[in-house]
Amino acid sequence: MMTDRQLGRLLLVATEVGARFQREGIDYDPLAWMYAPRRLFGGLAPIEAVTNHDDCERAILLHALGIGLDADPILLDSLRTDDDVVTRSERVAAVLESAVN
């Protein structure tokens, strides 16, 4: 079971994936992308992960920016924050610091 909001997130990402693949002429099945495990979602398939708010945002950002078919979640999260973290190592340090505090 999923809520209407979770279903909406799934549909939003599926629509964005299909639109991007068509727009950029990507010769890969959008549905196959939705079912393949992705590093971006900690090894989960997007069809499972994107019902979560954060993973939905990550997927939309990945496809809106056209930055590949998978990405390091830490790098995408650094784009989603208001802080001044620029590099992956800085982001990892910031995440570790916030976990300790």
In a domain, 24, yes or no: yes
CA dihedral sign of residues 94, 42, 62, 87? positive
20: pLDDT strictly greater than 60: yes
pTM of the predicted model, to two decimals?
0.77
In a domain, 51, yes or no: yes
In a domain, 96, yes or no: no
In a domain, 39, yes or no: yes
Give the mean pLDDT of the chain: 87
- Structural domain of residue 63, as residue ranges? 4-71
In a domain, 95, yes or no: no
In a domain, 17, yes or no: yes
In a domain, 8, yes or no: yes
C-beta of residue 71 within 8 angstroms of C-beta of residue 59:
no
What pLDDT does 77 receive?
82
Number of domains in the chain: 1
In a domain, 58, yes or no: yes
